[in-house]
Amino acid sequence: MARTIEFFYGIGSRYSYLASTQMEQLARDTGATVRWRPLYSRVLMERRGMDPFKGAPASGQYETAYRTRDVTRWANYYRIPFHDPDWDALDWQRFALAAVAADRLGGVVSFTKNLYDAVFGAGVAPKTDAKLARIADSSGLEGREFLRAIDDAETQRGHDRNIANALAAGVFGVPSFVIEGELFWGNDRLILLRHHLGAPA
């Protein structure tokens, strides 16, 4: 039986973007199945009662300028594009619900990859529902049905379930990977996850 990795991620997380680009190769190398679990990380942190992004940075690693340099280095290492988005102009919670809606419609992986490509890859993040619908269309979903699903109560419940499952597994940030009760947090822990799965680094 294939082992399953629960991949908890946020659209507004640069490190989740990095990790997402490695999931396909990880699955090929390990034979594991990756289950993509989108969530809005601010809700996750609020429900844990710990948010390192509130107030002054808790340490240098949370300073915006350092994180941008760090992610740029990782993107260069992975040979993928990276653009810092206009953070304050984007509705990150809606993006999370959009990914959950895509999951309900059977297209979470393709939609997430295409949304990440727009937000962090090309630097042309969607600022309207019409542009979100176009990303859904390009992901094999039907744009109008997709937009209805974003606002459907079941999508909110699906998001709440992802948050609850993440908390139950001990997840405190994204990206996180849970397999057989083991939690690995952060893009830089992928090497340890690969080791755990018996795959070469």
d(CA 184, CA 164): 17
Whether the CB-CB separation of 90 and 119 falls below 8 Å is answered with yes
CATH annotation of 4-196: 3.40.30.10
Can you read off the two tokens belonging to residue 16? 């989740």
- List Cβ neighbours of 96 (8 Å cut-off, separation of 6 or more): 10, 11, 12, 38, 39, 40, 159
- Inform me whether the pLDDT recorded for 57 exceeds 60: no
Confidence class for position 54, pLDDT limits 50, 70, 90: low
Specify the pLDDT at position 42: 93
- Inform me whether the pLDDT recorded for 60 exceeds 70: no
Instruction: Please report, as a single letter, which amino acid is at residue 103.
Output: D
Give tens-digit pLDDT for 126-173: 999 999 999 999 999 999 999 999 999 999 999 999 999 999 999 999
d(CA 182, CA 185): 10
Can you read off the two tokens belonging to residue 31? 């034979």
Burial of residue 193 (CB within 10 Å: 0-12, 13-18, 19+) is: buried
The domain limits of the chain are: 4-196
d(CA 168, CA 178): 11
139, 184, 170, 172: which is closest to 32 by C-alpha?
A: 184
- CB contact burial 123-138 (16+ within 10 A = b; e otherwise): eebbeebeebbebbee
Q: pTM for the complete prediction?
A: 0.93
115, 90, 96, 195: which is closest to 155 by C-alpha?
A: 96
Cis preceding linkage at 175, omega within 30: yes
Can you read off the two tokens belonging to residue 104? 């309900």
Give tens-digit pLDDT for 63-107: 778 989 999 999 999 999 999 999 999 999 999 999 999 999 999
Give the single-character DSSP code of 120. Answer: I
